[in-house]
Amino acid sequence: MQHIDTKSHLRGESLYLDDIPMVRGTLFGVVYPSPVAHGRIRSLQLDDALAMPGVVRILTYKDIPGRNQIGGIVPDEPLMAEHEVHFHGMPIAFVVAETDEQARAAIKKIQVDIEPLPVITDPRQAKALGNLIVPPRTFKIGDSTGAFKNCAYIASGRADSNGQEHLYIETQGAYALPLEGGQVRVYSSTQGPTAVQRHAADVLGISMSQVEVDVKRLGGGFGGKEDQATAWAVFCALAAYLLQKPVKYSLHRMEDMRMTGKRHPYSSDFTIGLDKDLNILAYEVCFYQNAGASADLSPAVMERTLFHCTNSYYIPNVTATAYSCRTNLPPNTAFRGFGGPQGMFVIESAIAQIAEQIGVHPSRIQEKNLIRTGHEFPYGQIAQSQAPACWDKACRHFDAKRMMEEVAQFNRNNVLCKKGISFMPICFGISFTKTLMNQARALVHIYTDGSVNISTGAVEMGQGVSTKLIQVAASVFSLPAEQIRINSTNTYRIANTSPSAASATADLNGKAVELACNALKGRLTDMASRILQKDISSIHFRGGQVYVHDAATELNWKGLVQAAYVNRISLSEHAHYATPDIHFDSSIEKGHPFAYHVYGTAITTVTVDTIRGTYQIDAVKIVHDTASSMNRMIDKGQIEGGLVQGIGWMTMEEIVFDQEGRLRSNALSTYKVPDIYSVPGIIDVEFHETDEDNLAIFRSKAVGEPPLMYGIGTYFALRMALKAFNPSGEIGFDAPMTPEKMLMGLYQKKSS
Ligand code: MTE
Ligand code: HPA
Ligand code: MOS
């Protein structure tokens, strides 16, 4: 089945927040952001701004009827600054005017006097000062200290990975309308409608039942709208509630880049130990997460870093510690992979380092240590592993041996260009790491003309979840997909939703749809059995027709639905799904947190221009563990998109904050993302299809985030090419590998 938005996207007919027809009298809001990263507010001068044409009102924290608080996990994030500012871009006031232009002109007239305080942007420095968001956590298996004594090889080092701008095509925004009886309706570009509802209610001082949040679709979220869509929606809701007028705010790109958090940069220290046969015996790692100025989702992101710190490998002795460090940057947040990629970059760095020390290609160590079924992850879950199967298939299918030889031969014969090859196995756990979040609900209506309408908590952000949910209903009812429609995501239809995140949206909401549809199908089967006077077990639906065993009957879907209605049988169902068998005890850091894992292997080849430091990615060849894909086109799109996004993070996307905590890479002229010229020449995707029994919807494994981590392979392929030119250069592990860094590395001398 095609992605249901294909045609309307192509024709520009899909509706986003900015396409919602505005009610007459709609006002426009704009945030006045802090001009400094850290300081104490001495005075705030609003009079000049208030006198500007069209300005209706300027809200500060003093206008908040409820709580000035939007922190999701830790209540440490005011909607608007009170007496202190903690990052450059932190909201101080919200200007409401008759037009967007007037509001933007007015914020230029606001004057604030801020006594500067020290600005910290480095997580290690924050840690040294004791500025932590939450207490550190340690995952431990075996005895790493003892195991190092038995190692033939030991390597230590440091690895740094930078942040990443989400760069959803649709910037953040919201549109709020006051309704009667103190209710508000909020259209929001959010992955988490319930988070918006909860915080809007809290800030307005009203109940959640008074806040309707509605989401049609997003022009991309990538984690950036899991938590950080909330502020803008709450601003609009607050202004709409106080002024009793509709209020809209959609951020300009530079505002969005400046005020919102990004992927967490990490700085990490590692030590890895191998025996003489290249088995990894021990691994110790310490992560310093740059959380930014408030917690946001950082504690959960940090947790997933720990879960994925050994990537796709079995290591019997591991000690991994993580610190979530408070700095004066915009609060960093969820980004595809949710801390997993940052953890995986470090173990891959450790393997690259020790391989170099020993003088073998890292792939020998990687292959030797792939996790197998029955092995235990450091957090206690036992692997049901496809890691060796994906690796072996990649080697066979893409003839890895020949690829390795070609690279070696090229490098023997060339100086002006060097090639590199890397292998990147991945392993990603599917489920929210917080067990309670793994629940979802669906509401399915069958109308008397036989058409079906489904509602869930899933937010469509391009990933194709709406299409998959329609496929679920179509499959259970055996109806053509055109007969099934999916609704906007709305907190009045579906309550208490988890955000659409963790790659689990289709699994959780799909299972709920399946349950609801099966319940309805049960009632309709019963009805058909009464009409046809046949045993229930003999009744089947196929293509909109009712069958008894293999024989079509006169009774069709529509007739059956009408008969059920006439007989006063409910044609609506609300179902609840909660992932079974998952649990985690954070007091011992052990459990079975994931419904299953997704595996895969990417082989990457690159060519570096050794004079200029520029490079091309020749090919990325992937075997990806889809199990039984329910939509190969969508899944392929996710794999290719995730890969390229990962490559961007690892190669060209370079976020730069200056010493004052000001974002320098604040526009697309200074922040480079992959374009059609920089993507791999070849992307080959081979599905690793199994009928493995798993908890995925229709056994079709989640695909949203895992492929991003194939992009890490590009960093290490580039590094191999660099090393082929300059074997003794000490270049460390510092992503992204921009062409500038590449050039420096090519001519870096060994420090003696
Ligand atoms: N694909 C598109 N086109 N747009 C997005 O915003 N978000 C990614 C991934 N793929 C995203 C995407 C992220 S961060 C996640 S968690 C998953 O999709 C969420 O959707 P899923 O749970 O349905 O996979
Ligand atoms: N993944 C993504 N988003 C989340 C998670 C997670 O594990 N937990 C809370 N939000
Ligand atoms: Mo994705 S980072 O879980 O929204």
Given a cut of 70, whether residue 744 has pLDDT beyond it is yes
422 shares its domain with 445: no
In angstroms, the CA 495 to CA 209 distance is 10
Q: Which of 410, 418, 353, 419 is nearest to 603 (CA)?
A: 419
Q: Examine residue 372 and state whether it is found in any structural domain, yes or no.
A: yes
In angstroms, the CA 510 to CA 508 distance is 5
Band (pLDDT 50/70/90 cuts) for residue 750 is confident
Three-state DSSP class for 612?
coil
- Say yes or no: CB of residue 722 within 6 Å of ligand 2: no
The catalytic position among 514, 589, 640, 705 is 705
Output the pLDDT for position 749: 86
In the numeric block, the tokens 């599917």 are attached to: 430
For residue 741, the one-letter residue type is: K
Question: For the chain, what is the domain count?
Answer: 3
282 shares its domain with 171: no
Residue 22: CB atoms within 10 Å: 12
Distances (CA, A) of 440 to 497, 578, 579: 6, 7, 9
Ligand closest to the CA atom of residue 644: 1
- Say yes or no: CB of residue 225 within 6 Å of ligand 3: no
Nearest CA to ligand 2 atom 7: 432
81 shares its domain with 230: yes
**CA-angle at 732, arms to 730 and 736, nearest 5°:** 130
463 shares its domain with 478: yes
Q: Examine residue 180 and state whether it is found in any structural domain, yes or no.
A: yes
Given a cut of 70, whether residue 752 has pLDDT beyond it is no
Q: Examine residue 146 and state whether it is found in any structural domain, yes or no.
A: no
Given a cut of 90, whether residue 751 has pLDDT beyond it is no
For residue 354, the one-letter residue type is: I
In angstroms, the CA 341 to CA 428 distance is 9
484-498 residue pLDDT tens: 999 999 999 999 999
- Say yes or no: CB of residue 297 within 6 Å of ligand 3: no
183 exposure class (CB count in 10 Å sphere: 0-12, 13-18, 19+): middle
Helix or strand run (H / E) with residue 492 = none
> Could you tell me the distance, in angstroms and rounded to a whole number, from the CA of residue 502 to the centre of ligand 2?
5
Ligand closest to the CA atom of residue 191: 3
Ligand closest to the CA atom of residue 457: 1
Q: Examine residue 131 and state whether it is found in any structural domain, yes or no.
A: no
32-64 residue pLDDT tens: 999 999 999 999 999 999 999 999 999 999 999
38 shares its domain with 176: yes
Domain final position from 209, 242, 259: 259
pTM: 0.98
362 shares its domain with 385: yes
Residues with CB under 6 A from ligand 1: 220-223, 336, 461-463, 465, 500-506, 638, 641, 702, 704-705
Mean pLDDT of 415-439: 98
What does the block give as tokens for 671? 């922040």
Contact indicator for 38, 86 with CB cutoff of 8 Å: yes
390 shares its domain with 465: no
210-259 residue pLDDT tens: 999 999 999 999 999 999 999 999 999 999 999 999 999 999 999 999 99
Give the structural domain span for 11. Answer: 6-117+166-259
Domain final position from 259, 290, 314: 259
For residue 483, the one-letter residue type is: Q
> Could you tell me the distance, in angstroms and rounded to a whole number, from the CA of residue 523 to the centre of ligand 1?
35
Q: Strand 153-161 and strand 733-735: pairing?
A: parallel
Contact indicator for 634, 464 with CB cutoff of 8 Å: yes
304-321 residue pLDDT tens: 999 999 999 999 999 999
The 3-class secondary structure across 422-478, one letter per residue, is: EEEEEEEEECCCCHHHCEEEEEEEECCCCCEEEEECCCCCCCCHHHHHHHHHHHHHC
> Could you tell me the distance, in angstroms and rounded to a whole number, from the CA of residue 396 to the centre of ligand 2?
35
For residue 731, what is the DSSP state? -
Contact indicator for 354, 170 with CB cutoff of 8 Å: no
Max CA-CA distance within the chain?
90
In angstroms, the CA 662 to CA 585 distance is 40
Q: Which of 432, 477, 427 is nearest to 457 (CA)?
A: 432
Pocket test for ligand 3, best of 338, 461, 463 (most atoms within 8 A of CB): 338
Residue 352 CA from chain centroid, whole number: 27
Q: Examine residue 139 and state whether it is found in any structural domain, yes or no.
A: no
Three-state DSSP class for 376?
strand
551 shares its domain with 483: yes
DSSP string, 173-211: EEEEEE-GGG-EEEEE--S-HHHHHHHHHHHHTS-GGGE
In angstroms, the CA 245 to CA 309 distance is 50
Q: Examine residue 124 and state whether it is found in any structural domain, yes or no.
A: no
> Could you tell me the distance, in angstroms and rounded to a whole number, from the CA of residue 207 to the centre of ligand 3?
28
**CB neighbour list of residue 724: distance below 8 Å, 6 or more residues apart:** 411, 418, 419, 420
Pocket test for ligand 2, best of 336, 433, 597 (most atoms within 8 A of CB): 433
N residues, the chain: 752
Residue 11 CA from chain centroid, whole number: 27
Atom number of ligand 3 nearest to Cα 499: 4
Mean pLDDT of 131-137: 98
Q: Examine residue 159 and state whether it is found in any structural domain, yes or no.
A: no
418 shares its domain with 504: no
Given a cut of 90, whether residue 472 has pLDDT beyond it is yes
> What CATH number should be reported for the domain holding residue 632?
3.30.365.10
Mean pLDDT of 336-363: 98
Mean pLDDT of 504-526: 98
Q: Which of 496, 524, 461, 468 is nearest to 215 (CA)?
A: 461
Q: Examine residue 714 and state whether it is found in any structural domain, yes or no.
A: yes
**Annotated catalytic residue 573:** no
Instruction: Give helix then strand counts, H and E, for the chain.
Output: 19, 30
Domain final position from 578, 597, 613: 578
> Could you tell me the distance, in angstroms and rounded to a whole number, from the CA of residue 334 to the centre of ligand 2?
7
For residue 481, what is the DSSP state? G
Q: Strand 184-188 and strand 211-215: pairing?
A: parallel
272 shares its domain with 253: no
Spell out the alpha helix ranges (H) of 244-379.
253-259, 298-307, 340-358, 362-368
64-94 residue pLDDT tens: 999 999 999 999 999 999 999 999 999 999 9
What does the block give as tokens for 81? 């600054």
179 shares its domain with 53: yes
46 shares its domain with 188: yes
